[in-house]
Structure 1
């Protein structure tokens, strides 16, 4: 019997790229993100269609890495509500821990002047990943530039934790990246938890031009969707929150059967 392809076996056939080179060639702290949701079982077929020059991030022999993100919000969920209502000065605050290398960053993500995402980062101690206290001055400084009241002492607390396994691709022709997240898990307060092992999130991080991965996904019938690991995950755990922006995504993908439904057939978007 011929063994079935898995993301691990297909990734093993790609040329490696180390972190220093990836950062130098595709840092993209200001970028346009497109996110796609698809069955995890379709990932090997997607990877098999990549350009031969595609490279995969490799560190210490690993090509898939455990991520943990802790998101922070106010008691009345200012960050969530700004995103839910598509406010121009929205932001997200999180710590991101690279579990396998025991590295951590404090990150504030904001929206750029032309709709792109701008990510501000500060090295952080992994033991502080659940608190903002050591980095509060950094956070307030970023939020103050948005006019969001960051300097007025907004009370932030950890609201949601996400965990997943990520592989990162480098696309030389567009000097851009794509990430593939599997083993998705969300944990909120009071023991709330959601696991979606049958779902994959593929995210392309480019300039204004679509990448080969975008076009490959379109050819397989997948389209960019409105999804945020923080906001959509929190809405899935707390159905009383306003969620019109993600209602279709929640209904179709954030269910126990997520990853079993075939994508609808439609024409590729124009970019």
Structure 2
């Protein structure tokens, strides 16, 4: 059993609102990911207090996100990542539960390791078959809407930090839950956190220093690919993700009371 109440710790951070946060959009950026256990997550937050503010939306500091990923019939986007392609793409609809606003998003990873994201506001997954959404995908995605199907849902709570210099953003995702719309299978990673440092280039970073001090090493971790591997049938290739699945399983099996 896990008892993790981060609220007392989160209230210690100075807050930043959406309007000011818009100055740190970082739609073309370098991402560094980490995966940690819950005790390490709490320690990271304590260390981050002097250098970061926390995003607050309608009084919430860990709002719920819901994402629906689109995929081709032959798993082209999943397999591109699995097979080690440097250039790859993900297409999703993300809903911010606290505001009810949804975006259709296209994320591309370049062969230089940068992440580029384009998005357009939509009314949810039921509104994708519109001229605006189809034009958006034709402009920014590798795939036409007719080639895609709704494939995987996930939800998680997200803590978002921004440094005082407004040059980087850190997202800390916890209570990850997955539902595969094709197999009907569910899975969760509720006993770990996925942390992502987002910045314009390899500039100095308080969070990178914190991770180094706690001996937490970067770890590529795609929520989409791991969720797909956890919930798909045995015929889908998963070899490339076995080490990360085993790591996640070790964290999940920990009996932690905080």
Fold match by TM threshold 0.5? yes
Match of 1:16 in 2: 15
SS at match of 1:34: strand
User: 1:62: how far off?
Assistant: 1.1
- Checking the alignment, whether the CA contact within 8 Å between 2:183 and 2:231 is kept in structure 1 is no
Q: How far, CA to CA, are the matches of 1:176 and 1:22 in structure 2?
A: 11
Q: Cα–Cα, structure 1 residues 179 and 244, in superposed 2: closer, same or farther, change >3 Å?
A: same
Q: How far, CA to CA, are the matches of 2:126 and 2:81 in structure 1?
A: 22
Q: How far, CA to CA, are the matches of 1:165 and 1:40 in structure 2?
A: 13
Match of 2:183 in 1: 190
User: 1:20: how far off?
Assistant: 1.1
Q: How far, CA to CA, are the matches of 2:139 and 2:64 in structure 1?
A: 30
Pairs within 5 Å for 1:192-231: 192-209=185-202, 211-231=205-225
Q: How far, CA to CA, are the matches of 2:15 and 2:9 in structure 1?
A: 13
User: 1:42: how far off?
Assistant: 2.4
Q: How far, CA to CA, are the matches of 2:255 and 2:108 in structure 1?
A: 33
- Checking the alignment, whether the CA contact within 8 Å between 2:161 and 2:169 is kept in structure 1 is yes
SS at match of 1:64: coil
Q: How far, CA to CA, are the matches of 1:62 and 1:200 in structure 2?
A: 18
Match of 1:73 in 2: 71
User: 1:34: how far off?
Assistant: 1.1
- Checking the alignment, whether the CA contact within 8 Å between 2:67 and 2:155 is kept in structure 1 is yes
Question: CA offsets per residue over residues 45-100 of structure 1, 9 Å max, x none?
Answer: 11111151410001121111000000000110111111112324311000000011
Q: How far, CA to CA, are the matches of 2:109 and 2:56 in structure 1?
A: 30
Larger deviation, residues 107-116 vs 57-66? 107-116
- Checking the alignment, whether the CA contact within 8 Å between 1:97 and 1:129 is kept in structure 2 is no
SS at match of 1:109: strand
- Checking the alignment, whether the CA contact within 8 Å between 1:199 and 1:259 is kept in structure 2 is no
Q: Cα–Cα, structure 1 residues 220 and 79, in superposed 2: closer, same or farther, change >3 Å?
A: same
Where does the alignment leave 5 or more consecutive residues of structure 2 unmatched?
Answer: none
User: 1:5: how far off?
Assistant: 8.2
Q: Cα–Cα, structure 1 residues 261 and 223, in superposed 2: closer, same or farther, change >3 Å?
A: farther
Runs of 4+ in 1 over 6 A off after TM superposition: none
Where does the alignment leave 5 or more consecutive residues of structure 1 unmatched?
Answer: 263-271
Query: How many pairs were matched up?
Result: 249
- Structure 1 residue corresponding to 2:53, chosen from 46, 52, 55: 55
User: 1:174: how far off?
Assistant: 5.8
Match of 1:40 in 2: 38
TM-score by length of 1: 0.84
Q: How far, CA to CA, are the matches of 1:256 and 1:44 in structure 2?
A: 18
Q: How far, CA to CA, are the matches of 1:261 and 1:219 in structure 2?
A: 25
- Structure 2 residue corresponding to 1:251, chosen from 240, 246, 256: 246
SS at match of 2:59: coil
Q: How far, CA to CA, are the matches of 2:40 and 2:197 in structure 1?
A: 17
SS at match of 1:195: strand
Q: Cα–Cα, structure 1 residues 112 and 172, in superposed 2: closer, same or farther, change >3 Å?
A: farther
- Structure 2 residue corresponding to 1:173, chosen from 157, 160, 165: 165
